[in-house]
């Protein structure tokens, strides 16, 4: 039987596939930067009771499949993620600072689509197939 999350007066299962890119789609998310982005996204998910199904940090964009509680909007969650990760990356690393001198690491927009029970497997497989490198981690980084 399917496990649903519970609120005080509700049961829900809201999953979203979210994608966003750095400005100018530069390939800056490699090595330590990619690892730090993954770590920050996990922290933000945990702090907001968001369950990470899977994810992938590519050099020029990020994919995540998340289950968001009903009291948190997708736009607010993306605002938290992009705001904190962008600020921290520009504070902690020198080479992105040279490219993104205006203190804007991410593009303004993002892509989000709801994922139902049938599409969840397809979305997770799509995120996993972005790179042939396989591991036991559900939030990977492209090398």
Q: Residue 98: CB partners within 8 Å, gap ≥ 6? A: none
Taking the C-alpha atoms of residue 37 and residue 14, their distance in angstroms, rounded to an integer, is 23
Taking the C-alpha atoms of residue 105 and residue 89, their distance in angstroms, rounded to an integer, is 8
β-bridge mates for residue 12, sequence order: 5
Distance, C-alpha 107 to centroid of its chain: 14
Contact present, 139 and 52 (Cβ < 8 Å): yes
Question: Is 26 an active-site residue?
Answer: no
Contact present, 138 and 54 (Cβ < 8 Å): yes
Element (H, E) at 64: strand 62-67
Active site residues: 126
């Amino acid at each position: 039987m399917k496990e649903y999350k519970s609120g005080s007066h509700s049961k829900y299962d809201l999953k979203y596939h979210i994608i966003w890119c750095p400005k100018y789609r530069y390939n800056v998310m490699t090595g330590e930067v990619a690892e730090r982005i993954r770590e920050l996204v996990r922290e933000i998910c945990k702090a907001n009771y968001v369950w990470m199904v899977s994810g992938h940090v590519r050099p020029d964009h990020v994919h995540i499949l998340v289950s968001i509680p009903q009291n948190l909007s997708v736009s607010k969650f993306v605002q938290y993620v992009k705001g904190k990760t962008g600020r921290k990356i520009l504070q902690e690393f020198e080479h992105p600072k040279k490219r993104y001198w205006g203190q804007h690491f991410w593009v303004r927009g993002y892509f989000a689509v709801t994922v139902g029970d049938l599409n969840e497997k397809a979305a997770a497989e799509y995120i996993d197939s972005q790179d042939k490198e396989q591991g036991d981690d559900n939030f990977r980084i492209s090398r």
